[in-house]
Structure 1
């Protein structure tokens, strides 16, 4: 069974809820999922052994949080070239974090990112049926990339 690692940071619980919904979608695609917060990843060795990666962070002051930036430096050392990836995040106003993470995965890490782009969702939408379905769809799409 293919394994996907979802690593996220959440300030208010909204991005964590997105991670849980995305994990459901990955499982729907027949993959196993492990989840972790960025603070629990201390070295690049902890990122080895997965087939896919989905990273998430809320937008905070039109940027991703500092701990996500530090995590991405760790992830860069894990040599994720060619691995399947996706990015997500919640926001109240602007939503820059998820596209920044996605671009890093695509252009710096050289990952095989989902053609859906980053999943960027307003905090107000996270708890709705539409938000749940969008997250599950995103996770399923990443999982299905591993089935090919």
Structure 2
């Protein structure tokens, strides 16, 4: 089974978080995962993926224009029925990451994705809308990102195997 992580990263912070989430997915046996910046998407891999995780830096309390442009122009990319999840990076708490993630969730639901976060039902750490990494990140946040990735991997296997 394949899982794709698509993100936009200009400074490397969102890419770093994508790689940490990838580490969490790799804890789940039988999954091939690929993290890709939006300018280097492997559309064949994306098409074959059962789950897709999208990541964005938070700019002006929202996703980047590059992510919105990709969403708008991805008409030929069938996301319907795939498990979806989101994450965001922000410079500080209260920087709008929740708004950015909610906006992405709305767009991907319109595209027919089954959105999932791992939620609070699985206990600590509680991951409400998706993972948020603040500033340059730290080991505590990285561990939550790994848990987030692992939860997405396990849910994808539960749903699609």
TM range (shorter): 0.7 to 0.9
- The corresponding residue for 2:125 is none
- The corresponding residue for 1:40 is 40
Normalising by structure 1, we get a TM-score of 0.86
Q: Take 1:147 and 1:109, find their aligned partners in 2: how far apart are those partners?
A: 21
- The corresponding residue for 2:133 is 121
Gaps in structure 1 of 5+ consecutive residues: none
- The corresponding residue for 2:79 is 80
Distance change (3 Å), C-alpha of 1:76 and 1:136: farther
- The corresponding residue for 1:109 is 111
Q: Take 2:102 and 2:88, find their aligned partners in 1: how far apart are those partners?
A: 9
Larger relative contact order, structure 1 or 2 (CA cutoff 8 Å, min sep 6) = 1
Distance change (3 Å), C-alpha of 1:20 and 1:45: closer
Which deviates the most, 94-103 or 15-24?
94-103
- The corresponding residue for 2:21 is 22
Cα deviation digits, residues 83-122 of structure 1 (max 9, x gap) = 11111110122223222212222x2122122143222232
SS in structure 2 at match of 1:51: strand
Number of residue-to-residue matches in the alignment: 143
SS in structure 1 at match of 2:48: coil
Cα deviation digits, residues 53-101 of structure 1 (max 9, x gap) = 0110001122211111111124443221111111111012222322221
Gaps in structure 2 of 5+ consecutive residues: 120-128
Q: Take 2:23 and 2:34, find their aligned partners in 1: how far apart are those partners?
A: 11
Distance change (3 Å), C-alpha of 1:77 and 1:142: same
SS in structure 2 at match of 1:57: strand
Q: Take 2:8 and 2:75, find their aligned partners in 1: how far apart are those partners?
A: 17
Q: Take 1:14 and 1:98, find their aligned partners in 2: how far apart are those partners?
A: 16
Query: Hey, which of these two has a bigger chunk of helix by percent?
Result: 1
